[in-house]
Amino acid sequence: MATDYTHIILADDDEDDRMFFTDAFDELKMTVKVTTYNDGVYLMDYLNQEDAILPNILFLDLNMPRKSGMECLKEIKENSRFKDVVIAIYSTSASEEDIENTFIKGANIYIKKPSDFKVLKKVLSNVVTTNWQYHTNGLNKDNFLLRL
Amino acid sequence: MIIKRIYKSSWFVKVVFVVSLFAIIFIAGLGYKHITNLSKSTEMVIHTYKVNVELEQILSYLKDSETGQRGYIITQDSLYLKPFIEGRKKVNNSFAELKYLTSDNPEQQKNLKELSSLIDKRLDNLEIASNYAANDQTDLTRFKDVFQEGKNYMGAIRNKLNYMISIENDLLKKRKEEYVSDARFTPVFLYSLILLTLVLMYAAYAKINSNLEKLKKSNQQLEIFKESTNQSEIINKHGSWRWNVEEDSFYFSDNLFRLLGEEPGSFAQTIENFMKFVHPEDVEKLSSQVDEMKENKDLPFIVYRVIHKSGDTRYLKAYGKSTVNSEGITQLLGTTTDITDEIDHYNTLEKRNQELELNNKELQAFNYVASHDLQEPLRKIQTFLSRLEDREQDNFSESGKKYVERINNAASRMRLLIDDLLQYSRTNKSDEILKNSDINKLLEDAQQDLAEVIIAKNATITTVKIPEMKVIPFQIQQLFGNLIGNSLKYSAKDRNPIIAISYDKVEASDDQQLSKALYDEYHRITISDNGIGFEQEYAEKIFTLFNRLHNKDEYSGTGIGLSICKKIVDNHSGFIFAKGEPNIGAVFSIYLPLV
């Protein structure tokens, strides 16, 4: 992608969370373009358009109506068009089961939504500044869940 | 001893009968021989007397002839010659008889020949003498000589006859002696033989009698056994049956009728009648299995339903085995049991299991609600609070700031509660698999998790080497984490915490606390500290959910941590005990079964 900013998409049905997310990037003052979708169906509708600009990093909430984050993850990983998209799971829960399943399905990182706005900013900036090319090579189950 | 054994053996009676049979045949043979001997002896006596009589008769004829001759010589009357002529004829007759009678005795034959020549000579002499008399030459010396010669001949004949008679008498005597010894010995022998036979027969009789007695006893026992079998069939709800495949005849035990809801013997014992009770859906299955039973020796259990006349449906389980009896007839021996109660129990259990599973699913759903839905609003409250503190700090009055702080504390506590409750409910999982784990590593990891607090409190933790155990690893790590965390939390303010972890192996029988133990041997891991301790009376209470010994202002906590510990140990079929002494410290002992 020949753009000089990082394209970020968030799919989350919770309005407050979408607000925290965009606020955090606003305050971080990074060269990013953030787009949000209200659920999995809207997200996939966008991504499946032929002329869609694919994101560098896609943040997926797991628990969404109509189409869950897990379903989106499955569809994206089955389509080679999206092979370069970094997928970050962005969920309230951090149950062993969810972590295990998303790891197997091929997500790149698992983020448990923090309960402190300052921590949120730190997490997001960390994710955006990570060299994913390098990180993906050394990906394993232990560093899959993001810990700060 | 040997006699006793022979007596007890089953072929004893047969042997006695064979021996007795031979003895009787022998006795009969001997008796026959004895009688034959007796009649032979009688014949011999008669024979001897006959011979003797004939011999005497010869002498008497000769005497008659002699007398006749003498009469003729004196009277010259020819009338006197008649006995002389007849005498010669008679002597010849007697001679022929004697020859026949002594035909078996060569000596007497020889004697007879000699006698014959003597008699011939004597008769010739008589004739010569008679001729002299007829010619009136009796005065001649020659006549006298002839007369003298006749007398001599007569003496010789008399001697010969006497000799022959004595020979016959000797023979008779000898035969008599033989007969007497025979007759004396035979009865004794016969008598003892009969006596022996009688003894043997008596023994056989006694044996048969005792066998009969035994048979009677075993019959009685059989009768008792049969009765108790009948009773046990009733109690255990089973019946038995016999099927003679070749004759296609059946025998049903009384209780088999009852299993069909009928009175014993109320219908003819045939497979057709039995099949009338079988549930229509099971008839085909049972019939094919019955056919199979005819061919195979052993069959698996057959379960089928029967319908009583009252309308009740009962489940029966049958098992049959083919056997060949002592007469070489193939029979199927079978048992049928009413398993309706078992099936009912099973169904009830199944239902309960399903209910339990449903409950479990509801619990899991609650877990999810707690972990996700409850956490979400709380997280947002906390995030908004952090934003308030961050951006609106300057707009708050002093009391406003204080309220925000209080809200923050309350939210934090709520988070702690939700997390701990979740932890507690997750510890429930019983489908976790026990696997061999390095306990030292789990202990190390638990300490790692607490590293910050350990450093902050300047705590010293000593450990020993602990062997591998079969556990659910993450639960045991949490157990260690909770207990060490507990020791750190309740440390005394005036001294640095010292936590000692030790290990040993104990026999359940050696430890009073393990009176309810299911295993013989246990691993014991002890964690002791020098903290504030507690009154021993609370030793059990501290493990119950939400139970706290301290005000939450003094020590933070939810009252769930030790409950989780108890649950983890329970999951491992182990025990956990606490011992406390105020301001001295606490000791937690974990017992895990050695498997």
Query: How close B399 comes to chain A (CA, Å)?
Result: 22
Q: Is the dihedral of CA B21, B26, B29, B34 positive or negative?
A: negative
Q: Is A142's pLDDT higher than 80?
A: no
* Average pLDDT, integer, range B182-202: 80
Sort strands B585-593 and B575-581 into parallel, antiparallel or unpaired: antiparallel
pLDDT at residue A1, as a whole number: 46
Contacts of A20 in chain B (CB under 8 A): 383
* Average pLDDT, integer, range B430-440: 81
Contacts of A116 in chain B (CB under 8 A): 382-383, 386
Q: What is the pLDDT of residues B110-132, one digit of tens each?
A: 888 888 888 888 888 878 877 77
Please tell me which residue, A42 or A146, carries the higher pLDDT value. Answer: A42
Please tell me which residue, A119 or B374, carries the higher pLDDT value. Answer: A119
Which of B374, B386, B422 has the highest number of chain A CBs within 10 A, making it the mutation to test binding with A?
B386
Q: Is the dihedral of CA B418, B419, B420, B423 positive or negative?
A: positive
| Out of A63, A95, A115, closest to residue B383 by CB | A115
Please tell me the distance from the alpha carbon of residue B575 to that of residue B564, in angstroms, as a whole number.
13
Q: Is B352's pLDDT higher than 90?
A: yes
* Average pLDDT, integer, range B175-201: 79
Q: Is A148's pLDDT higher than 70?
A: no
Contacts of A117 in chain B (CB under 8 A): 383, 386-387, 390
Contacts of B431 in chain A (CB under 8 A): none
Contacts of A118 in chain B (CB under 8 A): 386, 390
Domains and CATH numbers, chain A: 6-137 (3.40.50.2300)
pLDDT at residue B526, as a whole number: 94
pLDDT at residue B218, as a whole number: 93
Please tell me which residue, B101 or B592, carries the higher pLDDT value. Answer: B592
* Average pLDDT, integer, range B543-557: 74
Residue type, A87: I
pLDDT at residue A37, as a whole number: 93
Q: For residue B587, give the nearest of B541, B528, B532, B539 by alpha carbon.
A: B528
| Out of B368, B379, B390, closest to residue A115 by CB | B379
The answer to whether B575 and B569 are in contact (CB under 8 A) is: yes
| Out of A16, A17, A117, closest to residue B386 by CB | A117
How many Cβ atoms are within 10 Å of B186's Cβ, its own excluded? 16
CA distance between the termini of chain A? 30
Phi/psi of residue B496, nearest 5 degrees: -75, 140
Q: Which CA distances in Å does B274 have to B217, B251, B257, B264, B303?
A: 36, 11, 9, 13, 15
Please tell me which residue, B420 or A118, carries the higher pLDDT value. Answer: A118
Contacts of B140 (CB under 8 A, 6+ apart): B132
* Average pLDDT, integer, range A115-125: 90
Q: For residue B413, give the nearest of B566, B553, B562, B564 by alpha carbon.
A: B553
The answer to whether B348 and B293 are in contact (CB under 8 A) is: no
Using the beta-carbon criterion (under 8 Å), do A95 and B371 form an inter-chain contact? Answer: yes
B429 confidence band (pLDDT: 50, 70, 90) = low
Q: What is the pLDDT of residues A53-96, one digit of tens each?
A: 889 899 999 888 888 898 999 999 888 888 888 999 999 877 78
Mean pLDDT, rounded, of chain B: 84
Pick left, alpha or beta for residue A66 (phi over 0 → left; psi -120 to 50 → alpha; otherwise beta).
Answer: left
Three-class secondary structure of residue B341 per DSSP: helix
pLDDT at residue A134, as a whole number: 66
Tell me the H-state helices in B326-374: 340-368
pLDDT at residue B365, as a whole number: 78
Pick left, alpha or beta for residue B76 (phi over 0 → left; psi -120 to 50 → alpha; otherwise beta).
Answer: left
HSE of A122, CA atoms in CB hemisphere, 13 A: 10
Helix (H) or strand (E) holding A79: none
Three-class secondary structure of residue B243 per DSSP: strand
Chain B residue closest in CA terms to A18: B380
Query: How close A33 comes to chain B (CA, Å)?
Result: 23
Domains and CATH numbers, chain B: 2-208 (1.20.1330), 237-338 (3.30.450.20), 344-426 (1.10.287), 430-593 (3.30.565.10)
A2 confidence band (pLDDT: 50, 70, 90) = very low
Please tell me which residue, B130 or A27, carries the higher pLDDT value. Answer: A27
What is the distance, to the nearest Å, from the Cα of residue B336 to the centroid of all Cα atoms in its chain? 23
- Check residue B554 and report its DSSP letter: T
Contacts of A89 in chain B (CB under 8 A): none
Query: How close A84 comes to chain B (CA, Å)?
Result: 30
Please tell me which residue, A24 or B147, carries the higher pLDDT value. Answer: A24
Query: How close B392 comes to chain A (CA, Å)?
Result: 14
A→B contacts (Cβ < 8 Å), by residue, are 14, 16-17, 20, 63, 92-93, 95, 113-118, 120
What is the distance, to the nearest Å, from the Cα of residue B416 to the centroid of all Cα atoms in its chain? 70
Please tell me the distance from the alpha carbon of residue B37 to that of residue A49, in angstroms, as a whole number.
143
* Average pLDDT, integer, range B135-151: 78
| Out of A92, A93, A116, closest to residue B382 by CB | A116
B364–chain A Cβ distance below 8 A for any pair: no
